[in-house]
Structure 1
């Protein structure tokens, strides 16, 4: 019992401190395309796309580890470009470490008879804020009973508890036949996110994604066929490398998937992810589509599921053509690949 209480204490109090410098990762990466890779800006079937994704990490704990991302982007097919805006927010633990980021995104697309190659840039501003009064230090902890209620630490307070910094990202993505592959680099300018006065540059995060769309039952309209879509996404930031590998089964407006995620640490195993996507409506003539995605991560690491309660995500998306759009009603040209 004492061991379990100490594990939970470490998760709730210490994890927010050691998580500085590591980005959060979404299980439903396909429902946060601009977060995954700026080169995916404007890469969809339609003229307008809106996405929102919320992640509640370790929902069985009393502390709050949550992330939220929402974006809107336009497919400017007449000038072979995509433009968008994204807002990201994270709340980490009892220390109430809050991060708010807003960024503009742009992509340029080169198309051929059987491929689409896009290049993306993203730049914005991040605000990081820490509630110092919520932090717990060693002189506030008893080895037997844990946190000492009402105790005051002798740790020296920092001069500031909030910081703004510029952040820049870039990426490229290639669609070739039934393959999609991409790579992105985030925090290219290595911004200093320290609140203590000592420099703490944010490590560059490299993301790679690869998917293949295997046709099981063909259809005149690509979107209404039946497919198996195996994918792998790899993340590397500083000395941590993690990956997610799995597959999704897509039939008309229903998409179900299962994934294995490795967290890159000594234990390796992190979670098994189950996901399902519903396209509430999906009209061929104007590309209008409303999407609901739900997923749950069942923790498989040494922390175990009984302690954390797992992690849940819910995402929504909307796509449409403008009225009288010059590209409306197209049946899956190179710009309108639909992997998920």
Structure 2
């Protein structure tokens, strides 16, 4: 009945929660600004870019649907001021909502990262995230056939069996980042323990595996710190990533151009949702600017295939507050105790 009353909402559900004889398999949200939402991508990114940072991100996906799929995320990380600066902590709070069907998922993740310089130019960060999530489905916004009278008015509650007990789950999320001052490689896995989400058919949140990397070509290198006001950074950064979760996969290639404090980027994304479903193609356009201790980013996803275009793509907005001690960084660099400056785009 849901598909008869709300065909586009049913299409949204089939995209987010594809069904199979083995049960329902949910999918995680995907952000189009991985530099700004890096803690969501890999826990090993905690503490790599700033002394501390706090990021608020909002993503509105499929905006042409009534009650589109939205995600709000608050994330923060802190590099602990211990000897050697080996340790960092992070926290990520994420809420997903799918409007008309009353679907919500709230997840909180605690992160830890350990940093180690391997050579004078190469460093490694290993991270671990532990997540607690709570998922529920509500039907308060839906109207069923047995609630409609002859004149079209709504009367009484529905007799449909619509009970869904909220589900709590835990997941384990490790990752590593290998980087130099100009290149990085990120490998991460989420939900390795395959937590159950408790739908009517047996369901699970399948592991999410991701690999990403990039290379920053400096046309003008900032000095002495990564955000020196005396020298403007000018750089071009090509990036690539691949993510697989359950039966779906996505590959992406893009590039960012930075003339500090402005960054602009564009990318191409190819998304597959499994056999029998047309692959979706998306172009992404990003613009970001840094002002003082703040970074602001906006991204728009434009669908190239009929389905992704009809759903309206996505809008994404990020706001970041950060702190970085340039004098301390210069001192540590003179003492040869500093890590390479992580080169991934941030705005």
**TM tier relative to shorter chain:** 0.7 to 0.9
2:242 equivalent to 1:234: yes
Deviations 1:6-54 (A, max 9, x none): 9994322342255231111000111111101001011113x21111110
Instruction: Report the 3-state secondary structure (helix = DSSP H, G, I; strand = E; otherwise coil) of the residue aligned with 1:263.
Output: strand
- Report 1:176-255 matches (<5 A): 176-196=180-200, 198-221=201-224, 223=227, 224-255=232-263
1:24 is aligned to 2:29: yes
Q: Single out whichever of 253-262 and 73-82 deviates more from structure 2.
A: 73-82
**Matched residues in 2 for 1:180 and 1:117: separation?**
10
TM-superposed deviation, 1:195: 3.5
* From 127, 136, 139, the counterpart of 1:129: 136
Contact 1:260 1:273 in 2 (8 A): yes
Show CA shifts across 1:306-335 (max 9, x none): x3333111101111147x995577679425
Q: Deviations over 1:129-155 (max 9, x none)?
A: 100344688x89xxxxxxx98598765
The equivalent of 2:22 in structure 1 is: none
**Hey, what's the Cα distance between the residues in 1 that align with 2:324 and 2:182?**
24
The counterpart of 1:12, out of the listed 9, 21, 30, is 9
Deviant stretches of 4+, over 4 Å: 6-9, 133-137, 148-155, 324-333
TM-fit CA distance, 1:193? 0.5
TM-score of the superposition, structure 2-length normalised? 0.82
Give the TM-score taking structure 1 as reference length. 0.83
Unaligned runs of 5+ in 1: 1-5, 141-147, 282-288
C-alpha displacement of 1:271: 1.3
Q: How many residues align structurally?
A: 315
1:268 maps to 279
Q: Aligned partners of 2:63, 2:181: CA distance in 1, in Å?
A: 40
Distance change >3 Å, CA 149–CA 94, structure 1 → 2: farther
TM-superposed CA distance for 1:232, in Å, is: 1.1
Aligned to 1:319: 322
Deviation digits for residues 200-220 of structure 1 (CA, Å, limit 9, x no counterpart): 121000111111101223454
How well do the aligned residues superpose, as a CA RMSD in angstroms? Answer: 2.8
2:204 counterpart SS class: coil
